[in-house]
Amino acid sequence: MKFKHFFWDFDGTLFDTYGRIARAAQKSLRDHGVDVTMEELMPAVKVSIPHAWKTFAPQFERKELSSTYHQYAEEEGYDTMQPYPGAIRMLEAVVENGGCNYLYTLRGKSALEALDYYGLKGLFRDCVTSLDGFPGKPAPDALNHLVEKFSLDTKECIMMGDRDIDLNAGFNAGMSAALFDPEGWYTDFPIDRRYNTFFDMTADLVWEKCEKNLQVRDLFDMQERLQKQFESKWGGITPKRGREQTLWMVGEIGEVIDIIKKNSAEKIMTRPELKRLLAEELADVSMYLYDVLLCYGITPEEFAEVYLEKHLHNMGRDYHREHVEKYGK
Contact between residue 295 and residue 241 where contact means Cβ atoms under 8 Å apart: yes
Q: What own/partner pairs with CB < 8 Å and gap ≥ 24 does 243-252 have?
A: 245/288, 245/291, 245/292, 245/295, 246/288, 246/292, 248/288, 248/291, 249/285, 249/288, 249/289, 249/291, 249/292, 252/281, 252/284, 252/285, 252/288
* Least distance from Mg ion to the Cβ atom of residue 56, Å: 20
Sequence-distant (≥ 6) Cβ neighbours of residue 62 within 8 angstroms? 50, 53
Compute the distance between CA of residue 1 and CA of residue 204 in angstroms, rounded to an integer: 8
- Give the one residue of 86, 94, 146, 162 binding Mg ion; rule: CB under 5 A: 162
Which one of 8-16, 150-158, 233-241, 249-257 is the stretch in contact with Mg ion (CB under 5 A)?
Answer: 8-16
User: Could you tell me the smallest distance in angstroms from the CB atom of residue 165 to Mg ion?
Assistant: 8
Residue nearest to Mg ion (CB): 12
Q: Can you tell me which of 6, 7, 11, 186 binds Mg ion, judged by CB under 5 A? A: 11
The nearer residue to Mg ion, 82 or 97, going by C-beta atoms, is: 82
CB of 186 to Mg ion, least distance (A): 11
Contacts of 2 (CB under 8 A, 6+ apart): 158, 204, 205, 206, 208
Residue 11 or 291 having the CB closest to Mg ion: 11
Question: Which residue in the set 5, 7, 9, 46 belongs to the binding site for Mg ion (CB under 5 A)?
Answer: 9
Using alpha carbons, select from 15, 182, 4 the residue that is nearest to residue 107.
Answer: 15
Q: Among residue numbers 12 through 41, which ones bind Mg ion (CB under 5 A)?
A: 12
**In 3D, which of 182, 216, 191 has the Cα closest to residue 84?**
182
The smaller minimum CB distance to Mg ion, of residues 9 and 252, is found at 9
164 binds Mg ion (CB under 5 A): no
When the beta carbons of 89 and 163 are compared against Mg ion, the nearer one is 163
Q: How far is the CB of 222 from Mg ion (least distance, A)?
A: 27
Contact criterion met (CB below 8 Å) for 173 and 154:
yes
Residues 70 and 130: their CA atoms lie apart, in Å, by 15
Rounded to 5 degrees, φ, ψ at 227 are -65, -35
Assess contact for 24 and 175: CB atoms under 8 A.
no
Cβ-based nearer residue to Mg ion, 72 or 84: 84
Total residues interacting with Mg ion, rule: CB under 5 A: 4
Stretch that binds Mg ion, among 5-13, 44-52, 94-102, 253-261 (CB under 5 A): 5-13
Residue 72 Cβ vs Mg ion, minimum distance, rounded to whole Å: 19
To the nearest whole angstrom, how small is the minimum distance from the Cβ of residue 103 to Mg ion? 12
CB of 277 to Mg ion, least distance (A): 45
Closest CA to 174 of 157, 194, 191: 157
Q: Which stretch binds Mg ion (CB under 5 A): 28-36, 154-162, 258-266, 307-315?
A: 154-162
The secondary structure element, H or E, covering residue 203 is helix 198-205
157 vs 295 by CB, closer to Mg ion? 157
Give the DSSP per-residue string, 27-55: HHHHHTT----HHHHHHHHHH-HHHHHHH
Give whichever of 11 and 164 is closer to Mg ion, judged by the CB atom. Answer: 11
Binding footprint of Mg ion on the chain (CB under 5 A)? 9, 11-12, 162
